[in-house]
Amino acid sequence: MSDDDLPPPSSGTDALYPQSLPLDAAAPTRTETATLGLGCFWGPDARFGATPGVVRTRVGYAGGSSPTPTYRDLGDHTEVVQVEYDPTVLSYDALLDRFWRWHDPRARSAIRQYDHLVLWHDDEQRAAVEASRDRIESRRGHVSTRTEPLSGFTPAEDYHQKYNLRADDELFDAISAVYDDPTTLRESIVAARLNGFAAGDGSVALLDDEGDSYGLGDEVLATLRSRVE
Ligand code: MHO
């Protein structure tokens, strides 16, 4: 199962991937993609962004049938985060494990916009989703989380992408100086990590492990450290 087998996302992800920063230039060529809804998409965008093995994140709308969802006119869609990951570092099962831990599967959202849902991309993901759901159900009782096939993904407006990073003037200015195009920023691995650190989801271990490959200099590294210490 690789992204080569998948239909392209409905729009907006065909731009060239960013290359200027070392971690982006060293991106794995083979990635897989998961699409998950965990309520407001700002939070999970940051948490997955700070997860080792996650390559790219983007937030958007999925799980409904209306043709052109926007934040103001969502139709029957739900806020989701799309997580592109390196399967040699992080498995789909490990991602699912986080998904189930990061929400209460028995709690149903009052509005569809914030439903908990996992949208499988193929039969292999479907089997993993159903097995994990059955495990949880047998231990904890009825699961309200929606489990469905993916049938399209519309990227959200630029101002929702890497939302926590956008609120962090110092980090946002540093990466915007390198990637001034919003689509390039959205697809940057470094931006995904910075978004995680901006939200407080980074860690000293992650910084020690890969901070030098962000390529943004010592001052930014010191700022990242201050966001987690
Ligand atoms: N409007 C809510 C959630 C935004 S989320 C992108 C808030 O201000 O927290 O739905």
Q: Would you call 110 helix, strand, or coil by DSSP?
A: coil
| Residue 16: per-residue pLDDT | 73
| Residue 8: per-residue pLDDT | 41
Q: How far is the CA of 96 from the centre of ligand 1 (A)?
A: 24
Is the pTM value of this prediction over 0.85? yes
| Residue 4: per-residue pLDDT | 43
Same domain, 149 and 41: yes
Same domain, 144 and 209: no
Q: How many CB atoms lie within 10 A of CB 197?
A: 28
Question: What distances in angstroms separate CA 96 from CA 80, 128, 182, one per listed residue?
Answer: 14, 8, 29
| Residue 148: per-residue pLDDT | 98
Same domain, 34 and 127: yes
Q: Give the residue whose CA is nearest to atom 7 of ligand 1.
A: 40
Is 4 among the domain residues? no
Q: Give the residue whose CA is nearest to atom 10 of ligand 1.
A: 40
Q: Which of 27, 40, 74, 178 is catalytic?
A: 40
| Residue 3: per-residue pLDDT | 47
The last residue of a domain, from among 141, 158, 175? 158
Give the mean model confidence (pLDDT) for residues 161-165.
98
The last residue of a domain, from among 121, 138, 158? 158
The last residue of a domain, from among 139, 158, 177? 158
Distance CA 31, CA 3 (A): 6
Is 172 among the domain residues? yes
Question: What distances in angstroms separate CA 7 from CA 85, 95, 116, 198, one per listed residue?
Answer: 17, 21, 24, 32
Is 12 among the domain residues? no
Q: How far is the CA of 122 from the centre of ligand 1 (A)?
A: 30
Q: Is 58 exposed, middle or buried (0-12, 13-18, 19+ CB in 10 A)?
A: buried
- Tell me which residue range forms the domain holding 126: 21-158
Total number of domains in the chain = 2
Q: Give the residue whose CA is nearest to atom 8 of ligand 1.
A: 40
Same domain, 122 and 62: yes
Write the pLDDT tens digit of every residue in 19-40: 999 999 999 999 999 999 999 9
Atom of ligand 1 nearest to the CA of 114: 10
Q: What is the CATH classification number for the domain harbouring 110? A: 3.30.1060.10
| Type of residue at 210 | E
Q: CB-based contacts of 35: which residues, under 8 Å, 6+ apart?
A: 62, 80, 81, 82, 83, 118, 119, 121, 150, 153
14 is catalytic: no
| Residue 11: per-residue pLDDT | 42
Question: What residues are in contact with ligand 1 under a 6 Å CB criterion?
Answer: 40-42, 79, 160
Write the pLDDT tens digit of every residue in 103-116: 999 999 999 999 99
Query: Which percentage of the chain shows pLDDT scores above 70?
Result: 93
Task: Kindly tell me the sign of the dihedral angle through the C-alpha atoms of 179, 184, 190, 194.
Answer: positive
Distance CA 162, CA 146 (A): 25
Write the pLDDT tens digit of every residue in 59-102: 999 999 999 999 999 999 999 999 999 999 999 999 999 999 99
